[in-house]
Amino acid sequence: MPELTNIALGLGSNLENRTANLNAAVGRLSGRIVEGLVCSSFFLTDPVDCPAGTPSFLNAAVAGTTFLSPADLLDRCQALERAMGRPHYHACHSDRIIDIDILLYGQLTEAKRRLTIPHPQLMGRAFVLEPLCEIVPDWPVGAEGKTVAVCWAELSGKRP
């Protein structure tokens, strides 16, 4: 039987009704993909590494548990993105109705062609660390084992 694993996902939207898009994603994730889902506040953020004129993003993080393997979790998140209107093939850093990224999967640290855990840009993105810190500040990240709160403090210059 698959093992129940703690997970954290990042959510983002910069098209149409961003709040409704995030709420819809949270609703579809809860209980179907993520058990015991906890959601951060929604954070309005400037686009990062996007073309000029890209609309602002609304970002959030969710955490909970899943029985899905990392690959199955990725498949389910991508299927949810497509069901909500995001094209399967899209340009990197393009506008999106919804984006769902696997940020953390237990204490797993791995880099595969299709999926890297923890998320490879986790440590350098305030729009990911701030909402994540709100819901799972004590979660150790990566090989160094720094907590999410310490990572956020280092990035933001704030004390944990």
- For residue 42, the domain's CATH number is 3.30.70.560
Q: Which of 101, 125, 138, 159 is catalytic?
A: 101
Distance CA 139, CA 55 (A): 31
Q: Which of 99, 113, 125, 159 is catalytic?
A: 99
What range does the domain containing 22 cover?
5-120
Confidence grade of residue 8 (pLDDT, cut at 50, 70, 90): very high
Res 146: pLDDT? 93
Q: Which of 86, 95, 114, 159 is catalytic?
A: 86
- Domain assignment present for residue 116? The answer is yes
- Domain assignment present for residue 100? The answer is yes
Res 21: pLDDT? 98
Q: Which of 18, 76, 96, 125 is catalytic?
A: 96
Instruction: Read off the pTM.
Output: 0.94
Contact 47, 55 (CB under 8 A): yes
- Domain assignment present for residue 146? The answer is no
- Domain assignment present for residue 133? The answer is no
* φ/ψ (deg, to 5) at 84: -90, 0
Residue range 125-131: average pLDDT?
96
Per the annotation, the verdict on 99 as an active-site residue is yes
Distance CA 18, CA 12 (A): 8
As for how many domains the chain has, the answer is 1
Res 7: pLDDT? 98
Rg, Å, the chain Cα set: 15
- Domain assignment present for residue 97? The answer is yes
Per the annotation, the verdict on 101 as an active-site residue is yes
| 3-state secondary structure (DSSP) of residue 35 | strand
Residue range 3-23: average pLDDT?
97
Q: What is the pLDDT of residues 15-46, one digit of tens each?
A: 999 999 999 999 999 998 999 999 999 999 99
- Residue 23 half-sphere exposure, CB side, CA atoms within 13 Å? 5
Residue 94 has pLDDT above 80, yes or no: no
Per the annotation, the verdict on 113 as an active-site residue is no
- Domain assignment present for residue 139? The answer is no
Residue 64 has pLDDT above 70, yes or no: yes
- Domain assignment present for residue 138? The answer is no
- Domain assignment present for residue 9? The answer is yes
Question: For residue 156, what are the β-bridge partners?
Answer: none
Distance CA 119, CA 61 (A): 13
Fill in the amino acid letter for 42.
F
Name the residue among 60, 38, 56 with its Cα closest to residue 47. Answer: 56
Confidence grade of residue 52 (pLDDT, cut at 50, 70, 90): confident
